[in-house]
Amino acid sequence: MSSIGTGYDLSVTTFSPDGRVFQIEYAAKAVDNSGTVVGIKCKDGIVIGVEKLIASKMMLPGSNRRIHSVHRHSGMGVAGLAADGRQIVARAKSEAHNYESTYGEPIPIKELADRVASYVHLCTLYWWLRPFGSGVILGGYDRDGPQLYMVEPSGVSYRYFGAAIGKGRQAAKTEIEKLKLSELTCRQGVIEVAKIIYGVHDEAKDKTFELEMSWVCDESNRQHQKVPEALLEEAKAAAKAALEEMDAD
């Protein structure tokens, strides 16, 4: 685990003697403590799923959305501080819009990821700004096919076949690695993501959660949208069944 950077962790513009910027690492902790976000790239599209921990029974189901559409062809699942995440989404929407206004075509997902990552990184360079306390999983479908990117609070962005952030990321990544992603369609991927999220949710430690899922694939006409109600219910049922099977062992 990481050490406490006594004295070198007061500002994001201070390096520690061993070359670390502790403020950025602390920002990453905010992401690590939030509900799990999972994203996978199937052969015909992307599926994003979020373990939305419910803080209070008084909240309306479906509120506090964690997955947002950035453009017709792309969306992001957000982990960490919700307000920070909303800012990242707003910036991504703005970049996507500006690109299309200038160049006359939808922003390539790689370009979008680069811009979001640059923006997140920007906020780690000045002492009068703090780093974003949220990471995002960005999925989209452009003319080069479906692509999945993850942007961390440090501003680092990589392209993935499967990615997970938040509390249950270790267990989720292990589960994702078991999947044969190149053979899965998104329809099947939705079921798998639901199973993974139900699987990594810790009943003992955390309160109840709501499963939020979206996809962008051939079946959705390459538009980013919430997974259709019927399929979502099917996925939840399959996930619950899988859990019971595990418990029964």
Structural tokens at position 238: 């399959």
Contacts for 203 with CB less than 8 Å, ≥ 6 apart: none
* Strand residues in the chain grouped as ranges (E): 37-42, 45-53, 67-71, 74-80, 134-142, 145-151, 157-159, 162-165, 209-217, 225-226
Based on the shown chain and the rule CB under 8 A, indicate whether residue 240 belongs to the binding site for other proteins: no
C-beta of 141 vs 215, nearer to other proteins:
141
Of 144 and 244, nearer to other proteins (C-beta) is: 144
* Four-residue CA torsion sign, 147, 226, 207, 202: negative
Amino acid symbol at 47: V
Considering the complex, state which of residue 53 and residue 96 has its C-beta at the smaller distance from other proteins.
Answer: 96
The single residue of 14, 36, 102, 124 carrying the catalytic annotation is 36
| Site membership for other proteins, residue 105 (CB under 8 A) | yes
| Minimum distance from residue 157 beta carbon to other proteins (Å) | 14
Q: Is 36 a catalytic residue?
A: yes
Token representation of residue 43: 């052969």
97 binds other proteins (CB under 8 A): no
Q: Which stretch binds other proteins (CB under 8 A): 35-43, 79-87, 97-105, 192-200?
A: 97-105
The one among 83, 90, 103, 129 contacting other proteins by CB under 8 A: 103
* Separation of alpha carbons 83 and 188, rounded Å: 32
Helix, coil or strand: residue 205: coil
- 110 contributes a contact to other proteins by CB under 8 A: yes
Kindly list the catalytic residues.
36
Q: Which residues bind other proteins (CB under 8 A)?
A: 102-105, 108, 110-111, 114, 143
